[in-house]
Structure 1
Amino acid sequence: MFEIIKAGGLLMLPILLSSVIAMAIIVERYWTLRVSKVRPKDQLPQVWLWIKNHELDSTKIKELAQSSLFGFVLAAGLRTSKHGREAMKDAIQEAGNHAAHEMEKFLSTLGTIAAISPLMGLLGTVLGMVDVFSDIMLQGTGNTAVLAGGISKALITTAAGLSVAIPAVAFHRSLTRKVDELLVLMEQDSTKLVDAIHADTAKDKK
């Protein structure tokens, strides 16, 4: 393996570094974006139970905000629930934007790696072919070992760049879809809370 990396030339270093960064981002994002961590299933029923039992206070709202990203969104809405439906929806929307930003963290870096890795491989190809033609000019076509070395350098960097880019593209799309799905679920549950709270408020007024 080391010999292959060495044969690829200096551009193998940034390609390898990109692969390490991409792998770290993929592992970190999948761990962070677990449904049980971002949107625990029992969180909304627990909030509704607090409301029904008149147990919801600033301490519980603070704990809710710190428990998960979904809890952060719900807490933002609950803090403004007394100011009307629209104020509550606006607070949830703003908190949702913050949650989306947190969930999308590092995905732009992963997308950049997916885009530049094949370009680095292509650059390695070009440099390898430049070496090949330089050797041809200096030594002619008789020294096949030197020519093979230049062509090998070109092929290795191209293969390495694609080997990093292809999984990076796949995981970037997968993670982006995962974020979108979580945001949709959070929006649906938040809307249920808004409707439930203000439906009860309307009944109380009657």
Structure 2
Amino acid sequence: MLSILQAAGWPIIPLVLCSIVGLALIVERFLSLRPSRVIPPRLVDEVITVTRGGLPNADTIEKLADNSVLGQLLAEGLSAASADPRISEEKLRMAFEVGGRKAVHDMERYLNAIGTIASAAPLLGLLGTLIGMIEIFGASGGANGVGADPTALAHGISIALYNTAFGLIVAIPALICHRHFRTRIDGYVMDMEEAAERMLQHLVRLPGKRNGG
């Protein structure tokens, strides 16, 4: 592998950097977008059970926000209800919407960077190949050089194509992971919308029990 990288020349350096950054971002997103970190299975039921006797205090709400992305969303609604026990359903819904936008922003972190790597890597590979072929033809001395040693020319072209191949090797996994993360986030968003609606209706039905913790 080291000999291939050396043969491909300096244009492959940006691709190597893209591969390192892309791998780090993909691993980070895989860890951050686990169901246990985003939307724990029974979190909504537990919060509803706890709040049947009144809203929790600020420390409990803060711990809920640190629990997961869904916990952060629910904490936004609970904080709004605690701040104003007589809050209207419309304002409470707006609080959940604000929390939802923050949650989506957190889940989509680094996705643009992964998508950029997936789009730019093939272009960087093609650029490296073109630069390599220009250097090969320049060193061969033009048409006379090409006719004099076709074997060396073919070998040089194969080395130049390493850049294109490496660019595709970087781009394909990045594109697959980007689409995978996007699909997973869309599913999480639907689940969180349902959870927020359940929590909203629960809080609306308990106006007399909003004691502010």
Query: Considering the TM-score relative to the shorter chain, is it more than 0.5?
Result: yes
Residue in 2 that maps onto 1:58: 58
CA shift digits 1:78-113 (9 cap, x unpaired): 122331111111111111111111111111110110
Contact 1:110 1:168 in 2 (8 A): yes
Q: Which residue of 1 aligns with 2:172?
A: 166
Q: Number of paired residues?
A: 204
For 1:106, the equivalent position in structure 2 comes to 110
* Contact 1:7-1:152 within 8 A present in 2 as well: no
For 2:157, the equivalent position in structure 1 comes to 151
Structure 1, unaligned runs of 5 or more? none
Q: Aligned pair 1:15/2:15, yes or no?
A: yes
Alpha-carbon deviation of 1:52?
1.5
Could you tell me the percent identity over the aligned residues? Answer: 35
Structure with higher RCO (Cα < 8 A, 6+ apart) = 2
The Cα of 1:131 is off from its aligned counterpart by: 2.1
Does structure 1 retain, via aligned residues, the 8 Å contact 2:122–2:168? Answer: yes
**Runs (5+) with no aligned partner, structure 2:** 209-213
Give me the TM-score of the superposition, normalised by structure 2.
0.88
Q: Distance in 2 between matches of 1:115 and 1:144?
A: 34
Cα RMSD for the two superposed structures: 2.0
> Is 1:124–1:157's contact at 8 Å kept on the other side of the alignment?
yes
TM-score normalised per structure 1: 0.91
Q: Stretches of 4+ moved more than 6 A in 1?
A: none
- 1:12-62 residue CA offsets vs partner (Å, 9 max, x unmatched): 111111111111111110101111111112221111111123362222112
Q: Does 1:119 align with 2:98?
A: no
Higher mean alpha-carbon deviation, 138-147 vs 158-167, is at 138-147
